């Protein structure tokens, strides 16, 4: 067994790490709790002028397979297509696995009892022998535990952060703590739209976490494109410069924190922000009237938006996930060339 008790790195990922080849970590909370299991057609929100659109159009899409599974396969393909080895992370029978194979992904995708694991949950799930999708925080921990070397680059849809209404209930995602303490570069389309994005950006500032706007001066807001007036502290326009900035943060300035590479949702796949705000407000009110709270709020909100007219949040979600995995792959290539 590779690594410490209850943690296994797959042979493919371990070989790539041993040889210094680029690897991209990927989460599975999106598989177990973010995307629906019901089969669906291929997402079509992205045109052929976008790389993620070409990737989605150019690969097979099994419209009879669970949508969450097919999406996560497409995300891993995107990292591979960029030239990196995907390391999809999840908990199977209590073991934190770094590099799930297709059978393990399918098992997690179909398992309605699978839990959502953040950092605090790993030990409990381990002794219970349970199955879980890992959040950004738990996946970043896994990236650091990868054997024989840590994984430096990770991709997701949107990070967790400071929830709206934090003044009355301090619901602040462990993703922020992980970004403060785990030296992993995280490519995400900003923070989940259901959050207080301003407060989340302030918290990242307090924690000393660099936020690099990829090709933008404004803060990306998940499927809603860009924030109208929130600025990112730094703008970066290409993967090579992103990798140099990440390298300097860790190696020149010796800061052992994560770095958020904020990659906006491709414009043709993003949803009008006022429309999205209205959907979130309705969903949050519904969640509170049903007594849904804590970690259950995001999955509830996402499912509440599925039936909404005039938007296709699922297509937008998959488009940005594919785009982020692809960018993470390109950054990982530059980082591994440097070391």
Residues of this chain, 165-184, that bind ligand PSU according to CB under 6 A: 173-175
Q: Are the C-beta atoms of 174 and 199 separated by less than 8 Å? A: no
Angle ∠(260,91,11) on CA atoms, nearest 5? 85
| DSSP H/E element including 24 | strand 23-26
Q: Are the C-beta atoms of 9 and 89 separated by less than 8 Å? A: no
Closest residue to ligand PSU, Cβ-based?
160
User: Among Mn ion, ligand PSU, none, what binds residue 90 when CB lies within 5 to 8 Å by partner kind?
Assistant: none
Q: Are the C-beta atoms of 134 and 114 separated by less than 8 Å? A: no
Q: Are the C-beta atoms of 224 and 265 separated by less than 8 Å? A: yes
80 Cβ contact list (under 8 Å, min separation 6): 86, 329
How many other C-beta atoms are found inside a 10 Å radius of the C-beta of residue 119?
A: 21
Q: Are the C-beta atoms of 325 and 75 separated by less than 8 Å? A: yes
User: Among ligand PSU, Mn ion, none, what binds residue 192 when CB lies within 5 to 8 Å by partner kind?
Assistant: ligand PSU
> Which residue out of 27, 51, 70, 152 is catalytically annotated?
27
User: Among Mn ion, ligand PSU, none, what binds residue 25 when CB lies within 5 to 8 Å by partner kind?
Assistant: none
| Distance of closest approach, residue 30 Cβ to ligand PSU, in angstroms | 6
Per-residue tokens: 329:
């792959």
User: Among Mn ion, ligand PSU, none, what binds residue 175 when CB lies within 5 to 8 Å by partner kind?
Assistant: ligand PSU
| Distance of closest approach, residue 209 Cβ to ligand PSU, in angstroms | 15
Q: Which lies closer to ligand PSU via its Cβ, residue 258 or residue 334?
A: 258
How many other C-beta atoms are found inside a 10 Å radius of the C-beta of residue 259?
A: 23
Among 22, 25, 34, 264, binds ligand PSU (CB under 6 A): 34
User: Among ligand PSU, Mn ion, none, what binds residue 145 when CB lies within 5 to 8 Å by partner kind?
Assistant: none
Among 10, 135, 324, 336, binds ligand PSU (CB under 6 A): 135
Q: Is 123 exposed, middle or buried (0-12, 13-18, 19+ CB in 10 A)?
A: exposed
Q: How many residues bind ligand PSU (CB under 6 A)?
A: 18
Active site residue 192: yes
Active site residue 27: yes
Residue 239: cis peptide before it, omega within 30 degrees of 0: no
Q: Check binding of 298 to ligand PSU (CB under 6 A).
A: yes
Q: Check binding of 209 to ligand PSU (CB under 6 A).
A: no
Per-residue tokens: 193:
């739209």
Among 14, 30, 130, 145, binds ligand PSU (CB under 6 A): 30
- What span, in angstroms and rounded, lies between the C-alpha atoms of 7 and 3? 6
Among 27, 51, 171, 175, binds Mn ion (CB under 5 A): 171
Q: Which lies closer to ligand PSU via its Cβ, residue 14 or residue 301?
A: 301
- What span, in angstroms and rounded, lies between the C-alpha atoms of 327 and 52? 10
Q: Check binding of 295 to ligand PSU (CB under 6 A).
A: yes
Kindly list the residues in this chain that would bind ligand PSU in the complex (CB under 6 A): 27, 29-30, 33-34, 118, 135-136, 157-158, 160, 173-175, 192, 295, 298, 302
Active site residues: 27, 192
Kindly list the residues in this chain that would bind Mn ion in the complex (CB under 5 A): 171
């Amino acid at each position: 067994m590779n690594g410490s008790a209850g943690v296994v790195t797959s042979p493919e990922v371990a070989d790539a790490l041993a040889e210094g080849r680029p690897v991209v970590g990927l989460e599975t909370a999106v598989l177990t709790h973010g995307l629906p299991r019901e089969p669906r057609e291929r997402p079509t929100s992205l045109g052929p002028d976008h790389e993620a659109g070409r990737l989605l159009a150019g690969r097979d899409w099994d419209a009879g397979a669970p949508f969450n599974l097919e999406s996560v396969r497409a995300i891993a393909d995107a990292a591979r297509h960029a030239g990196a080895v995907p390391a999809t992370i999840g908990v199977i029978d209590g073991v934190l696995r770094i590099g799930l194979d297709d059978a393990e992904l399918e098992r997690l995708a179909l398992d309605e009892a699978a839990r959502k694991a953040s950092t605090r949950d790993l030990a409990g799930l381990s002794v219970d022998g349970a199955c879980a999708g890992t959040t950004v925080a738990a996946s970043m921990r896994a990236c650091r535990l990868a054997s024989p070397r840590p994984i430096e680059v990770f991709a997701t849809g949107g990070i967790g952060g400071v929830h709206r209404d934090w003044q009355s209930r301090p619901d602040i995602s462990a993703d922020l703590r992980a970004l403060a303490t785990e030296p992993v570069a995280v490519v995400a389309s900003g923070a989940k739209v259901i959050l207080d994005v301003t407060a989340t950006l302030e918290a990242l500032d307090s924690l000393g976490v660099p936020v690099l706007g990829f090709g933008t001066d404004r803060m990306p807001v998940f499927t809603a494109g860009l924030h109208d007036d929130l600025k990112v502290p730094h703008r970066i326009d290409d993967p090579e410069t992103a990798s140099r900035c990440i390298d300097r943060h860790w190696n020149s300035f010796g800061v052992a924190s994560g770095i958020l590479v904020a990659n906006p949702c491709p414009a043709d796949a993003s949803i009008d922000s006022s429309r999205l705000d209205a959907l979130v407000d309705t969903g949050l009110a519904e969640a509170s009237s049903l007594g849904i709270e804590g970690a259950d709020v995001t999955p509830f909100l996402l499912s509440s938006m599925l039936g909404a007219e005039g938007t296709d949040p699922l297509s937008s979600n998959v488009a940005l996930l594919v785009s982020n995995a692809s960018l993470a792959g390109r950054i990982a290539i530059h980082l591994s060339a440097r070391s």
